[in-house]
Structures are given as structure tokens and as C-alpha cells.
């Protein structure tokens, strides 16, 4: 137990042990770093792709549709990337979504229809 009525500015003392008072020193605690959290910039440091992440939107069909192209770099070295293309009508509803994949040598690999549009995959897949 702490002894009552300690002097201000002094360390509190515990009850005597073997006839000698025991001094209590304050514990110094530094800033605590969050655990299991990765900064987004640190997570992308491992990427070796030369391609930058980008997103462009353009109007097509006399303003009736918009085409949004999003480029996401791959994890491998070189020009590996995926391009997501979304076509929307003037109400903002997605009509068609496609994914184009390119390899490290900037060669086209394949085209994949995604959800959104008549040729896209169903919602429950």
C-alpha cells in the first residue's frame, strides 16, 4: 500500500519491507504505434510496375454515354496492368463493364466481361 500524506514532488513509498521503505518510480511510456496497420503508400512500395494508376472519363455518343477507363498497375515488373472500362448511360447506370489485361511486355492478354451490362456475369456468381 502507498503511504498516506506523501510530500508533493516526491515519489510515493510503499509500506515498509523488512523495516525499509520501498520507493516507487514512475513508468515512462512512449508513443504506441498501431499494430497490423499498413500505410497505403508503404503497401505499394513492393510494386515494380512502371505503369501509374490513373482514371479518365470521356463523353461518347453525342453525350448520351460516358466511358470511364481506370488503369491499375500489376505487381510484376514492366508494363503489366489491368484496364477497367465502364460504360454508363446519361442516367448514370452502368451498361457494360470490361477488364483488359496486359502482360509485362505490354502485350494484350485477354478481355473479360464483368458485372454490369447484358454480357456481364450474374450478381450471384
Q: How confident is the model at residue 11 (pLDDT cuts 50, 70, 90)?
A: low
Q: How many CB atoms lie within 10 A of CB 97?
A: 20
Average pLDDT over residues 2-11: 54
The pLDDT of residue 75 is 84
| Stated pTM of the model | 0.55
- C-alpha cell, 52: 501509374
pLDDT, tens only, 86-109: 999 999 888 889 999 998 888 999
The pLDDT of residue 85 is 94
User: Where does residue 49 fall: left (phi above 0), alpha (psi -120 to 50 degrees), or beta otherwise?
Assistant: beta
Burial of 80 (0-12, 13-18, 19+ CB in 10 A): buried
Average pLDDT, the chain: 76
pLDDT, tens only, 70-84: 999 988 777 889 999
Amino acid at each position: 500500500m502507498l503511504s498516506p500524506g506523501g510530500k508533493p514532488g516526491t515519489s510515493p513509498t510503499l509500506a515498509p519491507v523488512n523495516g525499509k521503505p520501498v520507493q516507487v518510480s514512475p513508468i515512462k511510456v512512449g508513443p504506441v504505434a498501431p499494430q497490423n496497420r499498413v500505410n497505403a503508400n508503404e503497401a505499394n512500395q513492393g510494386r515494380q510496375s512502371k505503369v501509374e494508376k490513373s482514371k479518365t472519363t470521356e463523353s461518347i455518343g453525342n453525350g448520351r454515354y460516358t466511358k470511364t477507363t481506370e488503369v491499375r498497375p500489376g505487381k510484376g515488373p514492366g508494363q503489366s496492368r489491368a484496364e477497367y472500362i465502364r460504360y454508363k448511360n446519361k442516367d448514370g447506370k452502368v451498361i457494360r463493364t470490361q477488364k483488359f489485361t496486359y502482360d509485362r511486355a505490354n502485350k494484350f492478354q485477354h478481355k473479360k466481361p464483368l458485372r454490369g451490362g447484358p454480357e456481364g456475369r450474374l450478381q450471384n456468381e
